[in-house]
Structure 1
């Protein structure tokens, strides 16, 4: 999730209507510990083959800050974040990201807010050398910048192949004042942008504040697109149909959760994990004050769409959680602002 650091009453008034919450019942996970040193680690991506966790990091509380990508070797001890050494594009402010492994070729696709509320891009990095004892993450190179007017305010993306990218916008076209107007009146303008390797198109389905997005192909060959509807307090599940070489989304099924869902991640068994923000008011307070706690909840969504709440915390342990990703019976929890991720026993 992304939020303006401007202390404007319009943001507060507009978002408070969406999902306020009272007391949070604590649902703990065992053996939790912090992995510090990464400001604003909002999104995660994992290379399960190598056991490498990539972290999208950007300090959002300080104006005009640029960001970086970090990585963790999950098979090492202790876990220490390392900077991904690559030539970053100018004004790199990373947000959502997606890791693609296609025929052994690894690429990281990362949303960047080049100029906040004005210019956005998808930056593509490719691994040019495999991980080794000397270079745990291998060597990477920035190879491409993707931009299009349909990327109006990108929050997250899911890359199915080099020729298929799904992007979830959180607002429609316009600058900061337009975003605030959409928030104040809960106007559904945030559409899904789609890239087929050559051209961009809109898959429609506008929301009031779209968030995480995830392409899934099940073992039976059926394809689905999941999208977090923050303003709806639900994850939308679309059937994907391919007609005459074009993508067509069916009517979505709503998977209702407690709070506004953020990013979406899937494990090897096909279970999806999402983090939700139960209180927008507390989230906004936390955005400007690290000591003001914002609650975090984690839900799992099974392939049959049944849900289970697996973690809930009022914010003392981790505030404004954004992503939950599993690896070898552990769960790694990212957050929007503070400078650590949490690892716990799943």
Structure 2
């Protein structure tokens, strides 16, 4: 064998080795090797919905749930005319009568909502914030006034170059908010490469009503975000980092300081802060199955709900209160608590589950 051929074989072997290691790292993070041995069941009923009820925010004082939905499969197939919407569920009605009612404003005309957040002012006024991925391109945060019956009126569009790939939003004022960027790059090819490399290039941005800036960085697919009832803590999930981050928040400046970190071992998605301060986090135990489910609805994707009970000063406990292989609901993206119930939404399918919340936390 010539020296040149020997070097070529060495280089090829090194490249194959690197690709194998990177592939193994990604598959491990995406849950490909995760074995689900036993489901954690709950008593559930189903509410029909438009496809893709990805996020749910509950106005507990009014007994009204806001649902963000659009048909992602149709959008992925290239259908330009897909317009999503915001819907409400009147939770004060008997549970058997719960249904989705459209409250979407006519503006913006190009509206494909993702994460949403409800802000309630000291005077009782309400605003709904929504991440928007217009078909025409770019990303925005849309702000709506909420009427007493839940109907929305468009107030403002926030666009900024720092909204690279927004996923979720949490409002902390009538025009101020935090948003997660799940990627630090644009375009499906570059984002796929980022995911395969498990690059920590996603971040959290803060808009103070006039300008936007990055307040937390080096995250691996930042996803859900929410705020504590006292406004002093921000919670954020890393889908590929499989973890929950807790930040101390300066209400005057909006600055965030890391204060706690909890590995959860699953592809964590949206966060709901319950009245008792506990967190409900929807999760994807097998992200590879979620990808398959997105292209083929016949392939189920396991769904999980994790409850996190934070302790003062840090720590606490976390565990699973719902786990399904995907037959009941695939690709659960949010679990919003209402009393002893939780409303579970998903990324693609036309349904919402209403389930009893288990009082028992189980290890996964």
TM-score (norm 2): 0.84
Runs (5+) with no aligned partner, structure 1: 1-11, 132-136
Give the SS at the match of 2:172: strand
Aligned residues: 321
1:105 aligned residue: 125
Q: 122, 134, 138: which is aligned to 2:141?
A: 122
Matches within 5 A, 1:330-341: 330-341=341-352
Q: 67, 72, 89: which is aligned to 1:60?
A: 72
Deviations 1:61-106 (A, max 9, x none): 1133220111111122311111114213122111000011112111
Does 2:172 match 1:160?
yes
1:178 CA drift (Å): 2.1
Q: 290, 294, 302: which is aligned to 1:295?
A: 302
| d(CA) in 2 for partners of 1:130, 1:247 | 30
Q: 72, 76, 80: which is aligned to 2:89?
A: 72
Deviations 1:174-224 (A, max 9, x none): 222321221121111111110111111111322121100112144xxx711
Structure index of larger Rg? 2
TM-score (norm 1): 0.88
Structure 2 contact 229–277 (Cα < 8 Å) conserved = no
1:109 CA drift (Å): 0.3
| d(CA) in 1 for partners of 2:356, 2:153 | 34
Q: Once superposed, what is the RMSD of the aligned Cα atoms?
A: 1.9
Q: 1 or 2, which has the higher helix percentage?
A: 2
Does 2:110 match 1:91?
yes
1:29 aligned residue: 42
| d(CA) in 1 for partners of 2:324, 2:245 | 24
2:362 aligned residue: none
Runs (5+) with no aligned partner, structure 2: 1-22, 358-364
| d(CA) in 1 for partners of 2:241, 2:104 | 39
Deviations 1:140-184 (A, max 9, x none): 211110010111100001111124311011001322232122112
1:142 aligned residue: 154
- For CA contacts below 8 A with separation 6 or more, give which structure has more relative contact order: 1
Deviations 1:290-315 (A, max 9, x none): 12111111111113131131111111
